[in-house]
Amino acid sequence: MAILSLAGKSLWNRRLTSALVVLSIALSVALLLGVERLRTQARASFANTLSGTDLIVGARGSPLNLLLYSVFRIGDPTNNVSWRSYQTFAAHPQVAWTVPLSLGDSHQGFPVLGTTEAYFQHYRHGRNQSLRFAEGREFTDVFDAVLGAAVADRLGYSPGQSIVIAHGVGAVSFALHDDKPFQVVGILARTGTPVDQTVHISLDGMEAIHADWFGGAPIPGLRLSPEQVRQLDLTPKTITAFLVGLHSKTTIFRMQREINTFAGEPLLAILPGLTLQQLWDLMGLAENALLVVSGLVVLVGLTVMLAALLTGLNERRREMAILRAVGARPGHIFALVLGESLVLALVGATLGVLLLQGGLLVAGPLLEARLGLAIAGWPPSRHELLLLAAVLGCGLLAGLLPAWRAYRYSLADGMTLRL
């Protein structure tokens, strides 16, 4: 401890150089831990988005694309599923429940999902957790809307307010369904999933706002009021996808094959967990590349420390000679320089952790609002602690060369003093 205290005082005498070294290490550590935190928590967030669903069914195409647009609201479907096909499998004896999903519209950049009451009954996230209401209730009327927590927080909505849905999924839209406003009747509790970023309406509501539209545009000369729309048959002709829960897990693969070979229209059924694993396999190379780059940045920071210690050795020979004169042994000089490298690495790593926590406090809400990623700030994971230990170990190793050179200088200077 005495050596570390002396090392700290020595570094304080060279505080400008030491501060720059500490800052370089801190920035590299913050980057390394930030990449690791984003990687692991993005995986956890994706994995927790959907649970308890056996199959996701959509139009035939890419399994990854089906998973991304139906669950994570990323991308667009290649085609829709006919209502007749949906009803065929909803009535299948092996099927316990289904949840239809209809996408394609938005509200101020947030996706709008048309579904049924079954969504609130059967949708599960995390460890089989059901959706809960923070305020209000589920929709019962054609023009009722239920908001995700992030939508309500960011736009400042509460039950009773009116909202207007826009055609299309862009952040800015000039095609508004402003003649058929919706009333907010409920706000879901926060889940940390894309549910928080979604406006939920009924399938009837989705059909109602498009009753006087055709081919993605209003029909010229036709404008139906909400009261007129209520009198129409609002059964949808198509939906985007649907979730399936089976009575028995043993029938999953047989049911998947039956859907994939359905003669009525080309459909695709995927297992969410298996497809998500394929996504991680696809992203694994990019994740490892990011970690390698972050590790190289840490190496650069430690190299800066090594250069600063080596550069200062010649200037400190008088200091070391004085220490020898007052009784310090060469081993003490070796331990002093090694202690300085450990103090620099320790302070830099600590500051890097603090920078990361501060960055997450600022950027965390933005990541959650824009990407639906809830990145926790504290405490660090076991793997992050191992990375910190590795950084400190590398810092200690980086100090061996300047410590050895200081040891040799102190031997030479000690002999000169004795002569």
pLDDT score for 258? 95
Structure confidence at residue 417 as a pLDDT band (50, 70, 90)? very low
Query: Which of these, 413, 15, 417, 55, lies nearest to 243 by C-alpha position?
Result: 55
Query: Using one digit for the tens of pLDDT, what is the confidence trace for 219-265?
Result: 787 888 888 888 888 999 999 999 999 999 999 999 999 999 999 99
Query: Using one digit for the tens of pLDDT, what is the confidence trace for 114-159?
Result: 999 999 999 998 878 899 999 999 999 999 999 999 899 989 999 9
Look at the block and give the residue holding tokens 């897990």. Answer: 249
Query: Using one digit for the tens of pLDDT, what is the confidence trace for 289-330?
Result: 877 888 888 888 888 887 877 776 666 666 666 666 666 676
Look at the block and give the residue holding tokens 């065929």. Answer: 88
Query: Using one digit for the tens of pLDDT, what is the confidence trace for 391-403?
Result: 888 888 887 877 7
Instruction: Give 292 or 7, the one with higher predicted confidence.
Output: 292
pLDDT surpasses 70 at 414: no
pLDDT score for 4? 64
Contact 41, 383 (CB under 8 A): no
pLDDT score for 418? 45
pLDDT score for 370? 58
Query: Which of these, 194, 149, 142, lies nearest to 165 by C-alpha position?
Result: 142
Structure confidence at residue 85 as a pLDDT band (50, 70, 90)? very high
Residue 214: how many CB atoms within 10 A of its CB? 11
Cα–Cα distance between 15 and 20 in angstroms, integer? 9
Cα–Cα distance between 109 and 258 in angstroms, integer? 37
Cα–Cα distance between 404 and 409 in angstroms, integer? 9
In the predicted model, what is the mean pLDDT of residues 343-351?
Answer: 87
pLDDT score for 32? 85
pLDDT score for 381? 74
Using the Cα atoms of residue 372, residue 174, residue 204 and residue 238 in order, give the sign of their dihedral: negative
Query: Using one digit for the tens of pLDDT, what is the confidence trace for 171-220?
Result: 555 578 888 999 999 999 988 888 999 999 999 999 999 888 776 677 78
Instruction: Give 292 or 381, the one with higher predicted confidence.
Output: 292
First to last CA, the chain: 33
